[in-house]
Structure formats: C-alpha cells, structure tokens
Chain A
C-alpha cells in the first residue's frame, strides 16, 4: 500500500518535472547556489566588512572606519611591497606567455596525430602539487643546491653562487616554471579554434608565412593570450608559497604580509584591507593591460 502511494508520488513528481522544465532546472541549481553563497559570497562579504573595522587587543572594534585603508595607502613599506608584487607578476606573466606561445603553436599546428599525447604531457605538470614544484626550485637554487653543486663538481666555479636564492629573481624564475602550464592551455585552445582555411585564404591573397602569422594567427589567438595572461597575473600577485620558500627578505610579496596579519601579528582588519586593496590594484592593472594589448594588436593591421 505504501509502495503504491510512493509510486504515485513519484509519478506526479515526474509529470511535474516534465511540465515545468525551467523550475526543475533552477531546483537543480539550488544546492550549488547555497554552497556558493555560504562559502564564497558570505566570506568575501565578511572580508570586506572586516576591512572597515579595527583590531582592539583580542577583540574586534566594529565601528566602521577607513583607518585600515589609510594605513595601507600611507605606509611606504606597503607601497613598495605592492609595487614589487605587481612588478614581479608582470614580469612573470610576460615571460611565461612569451615562452608558452611557441609551445602552444607547435601543438596546435605541428603536432599532428601526437597532439593527444602532447596535451596529456603538458597537462600533467599543471596538476602536480604546487608546493612540491616550488620546493624543487628551492633545492635547485640553494646555496648547496643542485645548480651550485653541479657547477662546482663540473669545475666551472669554485665558490657557490649566492645570487640564485632568496631574492626576487628566484621568485620570478620559480613562478615562471610553476605557472607555465597555465599559459599553454588557453593559448592552445584559441590557436586550435582558428579556421585553417583563413590561413589558406591569406596565403592565396599573397601573404608569406610571417605576415600570415602576424595578420591572421596572432590577432585571432589574442583572446587566448589575454586569458593566459590574466590566469597568470592574478594568482601570482597573491602568491604565498613561492616568496616564502625562495624569496628571502628581499623577495617578500603581499601575500606574506597578509598572512602575518592573520598569524602572529593578529590584525585581521588590516589583513582584510590589504587583501582587498591588492585585489583592486590587480584588477585595475589587468583591465588596463588588456585594453593596451587590444589596442596594440589593432595597430598591427
């Protein structure tokens, strides 16, 4: 009897779903939306709120104030840190994209049947533990690390090179390696989408290989390049692990500063303000750079 009723309910649910297709779909979305609101929107909102509060000993004074932002804007040390972070990220972005583009081009245009294998091989590093990859560079660049000991045992130098580790250069090198895979995939996608007959048409109309590349391939792959640049620039400015492990005191970046606010310094409001300021700064730089890049490409034509 109960089974009969259950079947009846299921039947009616089934019909209701069939009739109101839209309602069914929004219903499917509701758990995800709930999670996103609770775990993403709410925390970010709270973070935003915190940036207007002050740390009062062990408690938090919730009277709204712009004091934190004033501190962020006024302190010389912070400004240097922001600039350094943006500078390092920009350099990393440019180098990574430049290095990745030919690789992506190769897979899209020259790899032929081996494309599948190349893509898997390029994907694997993308997924390995980021922490371990940075650690690998720490042991490579170290005072007694792989490069130094290798060069010494080969007899090329007599004393270890000191400039390899614990400075911004080390950060740049490590980040370039760590984010290399991020660059390849978006660029590959946009190159792959290019209609080959467009290139044939360009050739037919008189363009040699270099011109074809500059006038057809490059502009059409621009969305992918921009996507790759954003995908590298935004996370690297906020990177914590790399500056911590290989940056030393000279290579400290924003994330390190933010982390101590939530650690031993225990000034959450300041940390929040730093975080929000850095996100705003990064967003502004990214938007500016994208527009500049688009403008530059239209000039090529």
Chain B
C-alpha cells in the first residue's frame, strides 16, 4: 500500500525534525569559530576545555547535582508511599491523584511565582533549599506515575501469600514487594533527577545567590562570546541526559509484562 511507504517516510522525517535542531548543538560545539554559522571552520575541543575550567559553571553544576539528588530521593520516596496507598481502590483516589498531578497542568510560571510568594511569606530565604522544595513539587507527579504503573500491576495476593507462608509485614516488604518494585524505584530516581536537573523557571524564581546550571546558562546567553562555551555545556548535558533517559526507560520496561506499558504519564 502506497500509504504505508509515505507514512514510514513521514515518520523518519518527523524524527529528523525532532532531533536535527538539537543535534546542531553538539555539531557547533566542535566548530572552531565564535560564530554559530555555516560554513564550518574546523574541528576543535577548546570550547569544552574552556567550559570545564569555568569556576562558576562548576559551582552551578555542583548545586544542580545536590538539588537533583535531594529532589529525586524525596520525591521518589514520597511517590512510593503514595503509589502503595493508591494502587488499590480507595475512597477519594481519583481526587488525590488529580491533586498530585496538578503541578503538571499548572504552567511553570504560575508555580514559580506562587512558590516565591510562599517562601517570602514564611521568611525562608531564597537558596538551594527553596529550589529543592519547588523541584520536589514538580517531580512528585512523575514519581507517582512511574511507581503507580509498577504497583498497579502488582498482584495483591503476592503479599498475602508471603504472609500466609510465615513472614511478617516487614519481611514481606523486603522479600517480595521491594525486589519487584525496584526497577520502578530506579526509573523514578533517574527520571525525577532529570526533571530537576533540567528545570529552569522554578529555579530562576527560587534561587538566591547559588544558581543551578540552567539558571547559569540563562545568564551566559547574554554574552555572545560565551555562546560556544554554552554550546559545549549544552551538548554535554544533552548527551548525558539522553543516555540516562534511554537507560531509565529500559529499566522501567524490564519485567513489565504487558506491551501496553508506556513512557510516563500515560
């Protein structure tokens, strides 16, 4: 059927459309020129070297890693508790899930200013702590989504069987529930880390003097001579997060019995 060929071609073209603009970043990051333009001027890795030596960048990176680690750990733990409670029918389940997913529907700008208002009202100073709080909020829906999909397919009688065979609640969790949820936990940790790592707007509103990497990049965009550095940084971030995401997806699907298991939010 001719339509089949056309559709396949369209799919490839679409994929190209998705990737090519982003792939320009690594492309020009190796380009020996201050200007991001064709024709290409020759291969160089000096932008990467410069980027790596930038003290401000390294500080921002370190901050981002700290915030990311906290946000992913806390949101995954909370998400695990919530998913465990919501996996089976419960009164108010739909309302609770809606509430937990609300950060996804509210534009980041609104979340950012609302949190800013809150933080200033309670006299918490703007710092990495306030950023972490904001990130936990936006990571929570993702953690719950990943863990819920893992736990929903979880046969409740597995835990009952474990109790029946002699184990108490704690050992049941350790021997049965935890091993089976572990892939979900790993995927949630990775994905929430990425969400926190990439967030710009919330961090923009909530950080004080310590910036995160996206905020740092935003500041650098004003200086044309710094653009290639930013390209190098951006390219690095893209490649690393690309690998992490693929890895997270692979883990998430590991052991998932049905083919209808989808990447997040579905």
Contact = CB atoms under 8 A, between A and B. Distances in A.
A and B touch in the complex (CB under 8 A): yes
A145 interface: yes
A192 B261 CA distance: 10
Given A28-B85, A128-B238, A139 B24 contact: yes
Q: How large is the interface on A (under 10, 10 to 19, 20 to 34, 35 or more residues)?
A: 35 or more
A164 interface: no
B168 A279 contact: no
Interface residues of B, number: 92
A262 B205 contact: yes
In this complex, the member of A25, A32, A150 whose beta carbon has the largest number of chain B beta carbons within 10 angstroms is: A32
Contacts of A238: 107-110
Interface of A (DSSP majority class): helix
A180 B18 contact: yes
Interface stretch (B3-11, B46-54, B178-186): B3-11
A251 interface: no
A234 interface: yes
A192 B260 contact: yes
A35 B136 contact: yes
Contact of B37 (A14, A105, A145): A145
A235 B7 CA distance: 29
Nearest to B137: A39
B263 A123 contact: yes
Given A127-B241, A135-B234, A271-B113, A239 B260 contact: no
A11 to B, nearest CB: 7
Interface in B134-154: 134, 136-137, 140, 144
25 contacts: A14-B168, A25-B85, A29-B82, A29-B85, A29-B86, A32-B78, A32-B82, A40-B102, A102-B14, A110-B8, A123-B249, A124-B246, A127-B198, A127-B241, A133-B22, A135-B217, A136-B234, A144-B35, A149-B35, A153-B38, A185-B262, A185-B264, A192-B262, A237-B107, A239-B107
